[in-house]
Chains A and B, each alone.
Chain A
Amino acid sequence: MNNLIFIKNYAEWIKPEWVEYMQAERGMGYPGDKGQPENALEEAVWKEQTSKGYDMSKCYWYVFFDENMPFEIPPPIKFENDMWLFNKVMPGDVIPMHVDQDMHDGVTVTRYWMALQDYEDGHGFIVDGELITDYKKGDLFKFKDPAALHGSFNIGWTPRFTYNWVVFD
């Protein structure tokens, strides 16, 4: 892998009930369930995506976070200032290529990514043009470049779950 750095396997950190819950529940559909952009930056992204052919009223994938998960989920490593979410990408769903808009002057962003299941055929994660395949459930990776262009797709046969975690310094 050229664009991700392997940190450690945290398979034991993943609780089966989290995944069962996300399998049973819909989650928040993006971007459709949001209804409208939250700020000027997001508005610009929405306009851009719409102009390229994405339908922003549609749900292309589903998200779970603190507010819609009925579990206490402490991150695998303790940090003072962080943010996490789980992405659920069903077969036929995609997360368009993007650069996360959480970077601000004077703040160091470290971006982590963890798969909640072993790699499967058709489960796609692209970082800077590289297809990430060789991973196991619980493998935690750090982005070499937190501003890397990335996106996901599921052209396989099972839902795909990932943990996306950002640490701010």
Chain B
Amino acid sequence: MDMIYEGNFRHWITQEMIDYMMTNKGRELPRDFGETPEERDEGFVEKCGENCKAAVDEAGWDLRNVYWEEFTEDCFPFEVNMPWPKDAQVSWWFVKMMPGHCMGMHMDNELIGRPGTQWWMGITDYDSGHLFVCNDEILKGYKSGDLYRFPNMNTWHGSANIGWSTRIILNIAVYYDGFDLVSYDPKK
């Protein structure tokens, strides 16, 4: 596992946020990329890239299905305040997976080739069957708030929930070369 443990930052997330995601549905993807096959294809390409879309089609993934849920700024009624510079270009998205959900191996398209750093945070504690796969290994035993840095923006990864509880995680990308989310002090 090449993910680099940064520490626990549970205080960045409020219980209210977690409760909201546990009791509400996020954007159900890839189905909600659009109502028509063309819209879904377009939305999928934007999120995952042309190459990934071609591979997905060939493999038989069905874009009418719901494989995961996503909470982003436009469907999340809370402000996510983390220690990044006010003018920084930042992406964050929560991923919720119900038992039976899975997300194919991929690289996050909008991050590929861009300068910056990507992090992954467990929002629910690790539970049996909650799987984050990276370089043929799984991330196990993490607690809510545990933050891991991806070795680079082009890391191949995927996930599945074959367990018995809801799995929620947070992805963060900050597009500043060499930016350190952990040691940055917004007051300085």
Known: A92-B67, A94-B162, A131-B131. 6 other contacts (CB 8 A): A60-B100, A91-B60, A96-B99, A131-B136, A149-B128, A153-B102
Nearest B-chain residue to A94, judged by Cβ: B162
CA gap between A159 and B59 in the complex, in Å: 8
Known: A129-B128, A155-B158, A157-B58. A52 touches B164 (CB 8 A): yes
Decide: A96 and B156 in contact? CB cutoff 8 A.
Answer: no
CA gap between A149 and B138 in the complex, in Å: 16
Partner of A96 from the list B62, B104, B129, B158 (CB cut-off 8 Å) is: B129
- 0 or 1 for each of B98-113: is its CB under 8 Å from A? (1 = yes): 1110111100000000
CA gap between A95 and B158 in the complex, in Å: 16
CB neighbours of A149 from chain B (8 A): 128
CB neighbours of A60 from chain B (8 A): 100
Chain A interface size band reads 20 to 34
Partner of A129 from the list B102, B133, B140, B159 (CB cut-off 8 Å) is: B140
Partner of A155 from the list B60, B102, B164 (CB cut-off 8 Å) is: B102
CB neighbours of A156 from chain B (8 A): 59, 104-105
Decide: B99 and A52 in contact? CB cutoff 8 A.
Answer: yes
Q: Does B49 contact A (CB under 8 A)?
A: no
Known: A53-B99, A91-B61. A155 touches B104 (CB 8 A): yes
- 0 or 1 for each of B53-83: is its CB under 8 Å from A? (1 = yes): 0011011111001010000000000000000
CA gap between A60 and B100 in the complex, in Å: 8
Residues of A within 8 A of B (CB): 48-49, 52-55, 58, 60, 90-92, 94-97, 121-122, 124, 126, 129, 131, 133, 149, 151-159
Nearest CB on A from B125, distance (A): 14
Task: Give me 22 A-to-B residue pairs in the complex whose CB atoms sit less than 8 angstroms apart, sorted by A's number.
Answer: A48-B164, A49-B164, A52-B164, A54-B99, A91-B56, A91-B60, A91-B61, A92-B65, A94-B160, A96-B164, A121-B105, A122-B105, A122-B133, A124-B131, A124-B160, A126-B138, A131-B131, A131-B133, A153-B160, A154-B102, A155-B103, A157-B58
Q: Does B165 contact A (CB under 8 A)?
A: yes
Known: A53-B166, A91-B104. A155 touches B128 (CB 8 A): no
